[in-house]
């Protein structure tokens, strides 16, 4: 759960907000473009007795892939693995603004299978756009970062494991 206030220039009073938030904080020792070419993160916003899901899929500039999937319910880890495979199904046609947004992620591993469908785009942001033009121009030779947030539907199946029956997550 999250609460905040937002106030923009021209507003007489701040706007109070309430909802759910997923926060990610990274702090690389080297320049991020040297380490990560593509980063995909998925987190479910389920609450109560429902399971929470977090998926991280990274691709390095050299093509190496790193994946991590975590499923938790009521403070108990139901599944955690870094040997899952995440296949990315690209959208047909030319990408919007030259930036490819996947259509679907297919997840599979020794005891997990399913998929995540990326749906309506909520927000797109170019982090370099916040910089003054001379710096933006110079950095654009090395990187073209883009952050995109989308709604996503998902369906994952966890096979039965010792002490846990099979689990269907949607």
pTM comes to: 0.81
Per-residue pLDDT tens over the stretch 104-118: 999 999 899 999 999
**Residue 145 in tokens:** 């970062």
pLDDT at 133: 87
Which range among 17-21, 33-37, 84-88 has the greatest average pLDDT? 84-88
pLDDT at 19: 85
pLDDT at 110: 86
Nearest by Cα to 80 from 66, 67, 89, 93: 67
Per-residue pLDDT tens over the stretch 80-138: 999 999 999 988 876 666 678 899 999 999 899 999 999 988 888 888 888 888 887 88
How far apart are the C-alpha atoms of 121 and 112, rounded to whole Å?
A: 27
Mean pLDDT, the chain, as a whole number? Answer: 87
């Amino acid at each position: 759960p999250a609460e905040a206030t937002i106030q923009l220039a021209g507003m007489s009073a701040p706007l109070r907000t309430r909802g759910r938030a997923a926060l990610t904080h990274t702090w690389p020792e080297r320049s991020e473009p040297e380490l990560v070419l593509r980063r995909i993160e998925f987190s479910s916003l389920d609450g109560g007795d429902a399971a929470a899901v977090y998926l991280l899929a990274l691709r390095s500039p050299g093509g190496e892939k790193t994946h991590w999937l975590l499923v938790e319910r009521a403070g108990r880890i139901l599944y955690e693995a870094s040997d899952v495979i995440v296949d990315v199904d690209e959208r047909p046609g030319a990408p919007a603004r030259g930036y490819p947004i996947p259509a679907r992620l297919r997840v599979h591993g020794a005891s997990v299978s399913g998929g995540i469908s990326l749906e309506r785009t909520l927000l797109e942001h170019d982090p370099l756009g916040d910089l003054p033009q001379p710096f933006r121009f110079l950095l654009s030779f090395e990187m073209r970062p883009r952050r995109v947030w989308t709604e996503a539907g998902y369906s994952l199946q966890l096979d039965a494991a010792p002490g846990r029956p099979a689990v269907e997550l949607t």
